[in-house]
Amino acid sequence: DTGVSQDPRHKITKRGQNVTFRCDPISEHNRLYWYRQTLGQGPEFLTYFQNEAQLEKSRLLSDRFSAERPKGSFSTLEIQRTEQGDSAMYLCASSLGSDRVHQETQYFGPGTRLLVL
């Protein structure tokens, strides 16, 4: 299966600890998105990469959050000094697009469910 994969699928951590999630997009996709989904809500945009460049960050992405996409392939999302309010599903999506092509579909991974105790 060559879909979007995320690791780990589940993470339980104690408040104050740092966590890192990984996303592997579909291999030829140049765009990568991170979203956060809390229970009973729709996903909310966190950040966006085109190749290795992080082009947009949401206000939801506090200073404790950092994302990278070295070499334009996989991406990592790190949360430092986790808080209970960080408990959520973190979704990654990828797409193939350009400034001239607007019709690309975002394909989602299975998500990483984070629980902060």
Partner 1 sequence: AQTVTQSQPEMSVQEAETVTLSCTYDTSESDYYLFWYKQPPSRQMILVIRQEAYKQQNATENRFSVNFQKAAKSFSLKISDSQLGDAAMYFCAYRFTQGAQKLVFGQGTRLTINP
**Two tokens, residue 6:** 């995320």
Q: Pick from 52, 72, 74, 110 the residue near partner 1 by CB under 8 A.
A: 110
Nearer to partner 1, 25 or 109 (CB): 109
Give residues with Cβ within 8 angstroms of 69, minimum separation 6. Answer: 32, 49, 51, 52, 54, 75, 76
> How far apart are the C-alpha atoms of 10 and 61, rounded to whole Å?
21
- In angstroms, the CA 39 to CA 25 distance is 24
Which listed residue (88, 111, 112, 114) binds partner 1 by CB under 8 A?
A: 111
Q: Are the C-beta atoms of residues 72 and 51 closer than 8 Å to each other?
A: yes
Choice from 19, 25, 33, 79 touching partner 1 (CB under 8 A): 33
Return the residues of window 5-24 that contact partner 1 according to CB under 8 A: none
Q: Which is nearer to partner 1, 74 or 80 (CB)?
A: 74
- Of 7, 22, 30, 44, which one interacts with partner 1 (CB under 8 A)? 44
